[in-house]
């Protein structure tokens, strides 16, 4: 390799996500899924969806999965089937993707925020303090691939007779004390958006539950409330998973253990190599198995560092720059800056760096060199 070649390789892009590389790595198997669906002529529902539901439920050791068209619908429709609606309060962290809170608000229920801890997930003490006579449910969000501290959350919920709906959109396959995400509460909701570890080629989502009646109601609600042949018992919606997404997700489910292994290996290398004076990464607890949906570091002068990475052709992202309570959509909830200091402080110094399964040898070292060099 000449010096020029070496320089070119050095400056080649390290993408924050690389969906094209995911496709290239499994092109034949993906095209076989697509072909199978087109040959069948079945594009909505059918055997692929039934099999995906069975396989994903088995993977997580729960009795039922319901395939839907997004994680947002899993949350919103799932909560509606659990009887959550106007007049009810649902406690959730302000540090999440907007969809968690939006699903509560769209039902006419009131989102009540509880701040997070160092691990970026809901603080069980703050959750307990936010409970009122109108509280109906708690929605912990397993952010970044790490499960919230479920033991105290479940204990508090049980004592106060609250429903537990997990927003496990970022944590498929993650474990907490050997129990898998989505299997703790009354319902586990997942997104299979292209950016998730278990990802479709478009919008898709699903929920898990051990309650057969809830699963049955969901299956009808997502399809115009139809049960049996053309009989609608309720006015439903259309939130079915496309057959093609189910076929792809069945393949992706098989590939997932390797995806998770690679992401965890990448995170481990980052943890070993990043300068721990200037870069903070919340430590892994011995009982957690993080699937690293994102690798979030916390740093001073974050925006300058981001620019330095960009100059080296290295992608990064911020999850999330504006906490939900400070979004224009949340104005009517009446919160203000300063209400959730941990979330707000984290929003100012978090940076998500590339951790995906298709990073090439040397990529992580290049990212680390740039970050450590920036502070060095
Ligand atoms: C934490 C969280 N909740 C909910 C969602 C919504 O999922 P979807 O985009 O599939 O509706 C996402 C993903 O985008 C998410 O990351």
What's the pLDDT score for residue 230? 84
pLDDT digits (tens, 9 = 90+) for 247-283: 999 999 999 999 999 999 999 999 999 999 999 999 9
Pocket perturbation via mutation, ligand 1, pick of 69, 72, 92 by most ligand atoms within 8 A of CB: 72
Between the CA atoms of 69, 72, 76 and 78, what dihedral angle is there, to the nearest 10 degrees? Answer: 60
Q: What's the average pLDDT block by block, 10 residues per block, for the chain (376 residues)?
A: 49 94 97 98 96 98 98 98 98 98 98 98 98 98 98 98 98 98 98 98 98 98 92 95 98 98 98 96 96 98 98 97 98 98 98 98 97 96
Q: How far is the CA of 72 from the centre of ligand 1 (A)?
A: 6
Ligand 1 atom 4, closest CA = 99
Pick the CATH number of 3-13+255-375 from 3.40.50.1820, 3.30.1300.10, 3.90.1150.10, 3.40.630.10: 3.90.1150.10
Whether 48 contacts 250, CB under 8 Å = yes
d(CA 71, CA 56): 15
Atom of ligand 1 nearest to the CA of 143: 1
Q: Whole-angstrom Cα distance, residue 368 to residue 306?
A: 13
Q: What is the pLDDT of residue 2?
A: 46
pLDDT of residue 1: 43
| Closest atom of ligand 1 to CA, residue 191 | 10
The neighbour count for residue 131, using CB atoms within 10 Å, is 18
For the domain covering 24-250, report its CATH number: 3.40.640.10
Cα 107 to Cα 85, 162, 182, 333, distances in angstroms: 5, 17, 21, 14
Beta strands in the chain (DSSP E): 64-68, 89-92, 110-113, 135-138, 163-167, 175-176, 179-180, 187-191, 205-209, 226-227, 231-232, 279-280, 288-289, 295-299, 350-353
What does residue 208 show for φ and ψ, rounded to 5 degrees? -120, 140
Quote the ligand 1 centre to 376 CA distance (angstroms): 37
- E strand or H helix that includes residue 154: helix 150-159
> Rounded to whole angstroms, how far apart are CA atoms 171 and 373?
32
Residues with CB under 6 A from ligand 1: 70-72, 96-97, 99-100, 141, 167, 169-170, 191, 193, 203, 205
d(CA 303, CA 295): 17
**49/65 Cα distance (integer angstroms):** 10
Q: Are residues 90 and 109 in contact, defined by beta-carbon separation less than 8 angstroms?
A: yes
- 99: how many CB neighbours lie within 10 A of its CB? 24
Q: What is the C-alpha separation between 241 and 135, in angstroms, rounded?
A: 31
Which is the closest atom of ligand 1 to the Cα of 170? 16
In degrees and rounded to multiples of 5, residue 105 shows phi and psi of: -65, -40
pLDDT of residue 10: 54
Q: Where do the domains of the chain lie?
A: 3-13+255-375, 24-250
Residue 20 CA to ligand 1 centre (angstroms): 21
| DSSP symbol at 235 | -
Of 174, 191, 196, the one to substitute when testing ligand 1's pocket (max ligand atoms within 8 A of C-beta) is 191
Output the CA 99–ligand 1 centroid distance in Å: 6
Starting at the edge strand found earlier in the chain, the sheet holding 205-209 runs 64-68, 205-209, 187-191, 163-167, 135-138, 89-92, 110-113
Nearest atom within ligand 1 for CA of residue 74: 11
Q: Rounded to an integer, what distance in angstroms lies between the CA atom of residue 227 and that of residue 216? A: 9
Angle between helices 27-40 and 243-273 (to 10 degrees): 160
User: Which of 68, 71, 165 maximizes ligand 1 atoms within 8 Å of its Cβ, making it the mutation to test the pocket?
Assistant: 71
Going by alpha carbons, the residue nearest to atom 7 of ligand 1 is: 71
Give per-residue pLDDT as tens, 106-124.
999 999 999 999 999 999 9
Same topology between domain 3-13+255-375 and domain 24-250 = no
**Ligand 1 atom at shortest distance from the alpha carbon of 99:** 4
Which atom in ligand 1 lies closest to the alpha carbon of residue 192?
10
């Amino acid at each position: 390799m000449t010096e020029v070649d070496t320089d070119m390789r050095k400056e080649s892009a390290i993408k924050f996500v690389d969906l094209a590389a995911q496709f290239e790595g499994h092109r034949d198997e993906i095209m076989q899924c697509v072909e199978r669906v087109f040959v069948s002529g079945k594009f909505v529902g059918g055997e692929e969806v039934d099999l995906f539901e069975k396989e994903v439920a088995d993977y997580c050791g729960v009795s039922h999965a319901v395939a839907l068209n997004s994680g947002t619908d899993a949350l919103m429709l799932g909560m509606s089937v659990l009887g959550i609606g106007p007049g009810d309060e649902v406690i959730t962290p302000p540090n999440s993707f907007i969809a968690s809170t939006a699903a509560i608000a769209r039902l006419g229920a009131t989102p009540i925020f509880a701040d997070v801890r160092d691990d970026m997930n809901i603080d069980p003490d703050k959750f307990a303090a936010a409970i009122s006579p109108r509280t109906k449910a708690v929605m912990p969000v397993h952010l970044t691939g790490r499960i919230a501290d479920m033991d105290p959350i479940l204990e508090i919920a049980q004592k106060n007779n609250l429903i537990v709906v997990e927003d496990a959109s970022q944590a498929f396959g993650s474990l907490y004390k050997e129990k898998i995400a989505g299997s703790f509460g009354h319902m586990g909701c997942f997104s299979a958006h292209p950016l998730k570890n278990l990802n479709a080629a478009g919008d898709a989502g699903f929920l898990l539950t051990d309650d057969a009646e809830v699963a049955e109601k969901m299956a009808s609600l997502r399809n115009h409330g139809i049960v049996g042949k053309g009989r609608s018992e309720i006015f439903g919606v259309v939130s079915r998973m496309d057959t093609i997404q189910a076929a792809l997700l069945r393949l992706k489910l098989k590939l997932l253990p390797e995806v998770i292994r690679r992401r965890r290996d990448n995170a481990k290398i980052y943890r070993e190599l990043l300068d721990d004076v200037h870069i903070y990464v919340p430590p892994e607890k011995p009982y957690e198995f993080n699937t690293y949906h994102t690798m979030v570091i916390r740093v001073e002068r974050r925006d300058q560092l981001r620019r330095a990475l960009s100059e080296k052709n290295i992608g990064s992202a911020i999850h999330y720059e504006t906490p939900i309570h400070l979004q224009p959509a949340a104005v009517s909830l009446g919160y203000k800056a300063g209400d959730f200091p941990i979330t707000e402080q984290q929003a100012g110094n978090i940076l998500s760096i590339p951790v995906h399964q298709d990073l090439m040898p040397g990529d992580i070292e290049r990212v680390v060199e740039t970050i450590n060099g920036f502070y060095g």
